[in-house]
Structure 1
Amino acid sequence: MPGHSGTPLGGQPEWKANSVADQGLPEIPLLMGSITLDTADKALSIGKVEAGVALGLEVSGKYRLVSSFERDSVLRSLKRTSEVTLAEASHILKTNAIVFTNVARIANLIRTEVILTDGLPEGITTSGIGYAVLRHHDNVTEKVMADPAILASFQRAFALCIADSTLFANAEGSFRVVPTELVSVGGITFKDLGGGEQWSLFKEKVTVSYDAVQTVAHALQDLDRYTVTDIETRDSMYALAGMFLVENYNSATATELKILRMFEVKDIITGSITKSGNEAVIELSLNRIKENDTVHRLKSASVTLTKDSKVALREALHEALTGLLGPVSAPRPEDR
């Protein structure tokens, strides 16, 4: 998953919409170019991706898609003996640009890259990358439903592509999205300074730390500014890079940080539980992953834990996360 989200590659494009809908102007037509799926997963298909592109553009109120079906139907009617290029098709169909998309999946993460180009040899090209997490399943078959994540990741990528991060910020319901940075959850360290009774949380730190990082990842799933990888996705990234053992009770290693950075993860949430006497301080921090595979702390928040229980720890983690990043998702049913 190489690259960087929101990379402009040219000058001011003709497809830039300046309050098109507000001015009562026609929606800007964009031609569907090619769709590439970087996976053989049956949950994804070219048809689903194109439907997501069409709906995303429609929701914007400023753009509309000239679909591959419409494109091919018009071109067939021309009865040309030579093959028509996409640039020629765009000219014939009077569209302002051609849309190319590349969709990849790692575990529960969808990554969509959008490229807009006018198709000319010396023309303008812009690109953007968007992320979304697979969270929906069919009630009967329990199979994953990728459509919402495909749509959201396209919207985020497209907003970056046209350099308008607020394009979908005022849309209704689940259509309201903004571009996000990719964030992962690192380890929660345990340190006992002595005094008081020994806590079971520390005795069982292997299972407790795993539960803690799961709690953190779940709590952050609805943030506007970040797409947070769940633990399955994080560990899948590690496995793809040849790392199969992760100790959630230790700080993320340089190797872990390097792998995350390879998969475009920008920030990592880390934490510590420091016990002294009969209470402990829980500190969580948001850190930027640097190019030398170290971290730079951006901000942190801490709370005091006075009970030796998993439920109390989960509640404390939610309190710390709220102090760190603002309101977070409600606890999982098993966390209550």
Structure 2
Amino acid sequence: MTGNGRRLLRGCAATALVGVLGVGAAACGGGSEDAAGGSAIGLTAALGTAPEEDAGQTLTYTDVTATRRLVKQDKALYGGLATYGIPEVAQAGYENRPLKETHGFDENDVDTSLQIGSDRWRLTGRFDVNAVTDGLKKLGFAESANDDGALLKDRNGGQVAVSASVRSLSLSPDTPPPALATPKASVADDPSYQAVARCVGDSTYYATFYGEAQKSRTPDVTLYAIGATVQADGTSRERLCALTSSPEGAARTADRLRATAASGERFAGATVDAGSGATPMVTMEWANGPQALPGDQNRTLQLPKLFMGER
């Protein structure tokens, strides 16, 4: 990890899959555009902030506002999501120092998180640009000109951009942080992403999209995502949605998933539907509980491994 990575994420070694750990919470779809082009809430709106060239990346959406409520209500069930898709939150916990003190913001200022790949994040919310800038300067960052807001860079790599409504981070010296403004063309314009997002549902409190690059591993599956919602009775359920390339591919995919839902298996009792049509949407749903905590399948990659030819 770069010097900047250590500075921003000291103590995060135990969460190497922090992007997959990101968990968002539900709220109302769509969201609203702010002065910087940021989107307040909603899965579909969040996907609209990821440029189309990132369609091959793993994207993890977190509705931070709703996840904070869930963690407060039931820490035993939702406590594993308490990093809220914000990498600096784990650092603050390890250092036992308030995040506001070191970085000029904390999870209470954040509405949503979108992680792009393994080293970029875009947070929406309400940010004190001066406080964030001052905090990063104390960590050794230097401010650069940026028409949309403040841009700060560390000499060892890593960049942060911030406006009043968006804070974005890149741990790479060669890759800029996600743009503060929404792109002209995004992954949300892709029909595959639109279909999978509809299947997952805009009321998800987290969702991870496994990008189209995985098609080289599993020709049967074009794109898939795993997300969770809280039902009217207060229970949490997770859903996998896999857009397949053919009815035959859908049948093979459904068979793989049914094997994990058999008696004695981790997802015993889950329901699997092979879908219909020329490019069926295969779904698998299960209830969360002590043996299937929200986000567990993302942390362990158990279900994604099925689409990588592993068991």
Structure 2 length normalisation: TM-score? 0.25
Q: Which has the higher strand share?
A: 1
More relative contact order in 1 or in 2 (CA 8 Å, sep 6+)?
2
The higher radius of gyration belongs to 1
Give the structure-1-normalised TM-score.
0.24
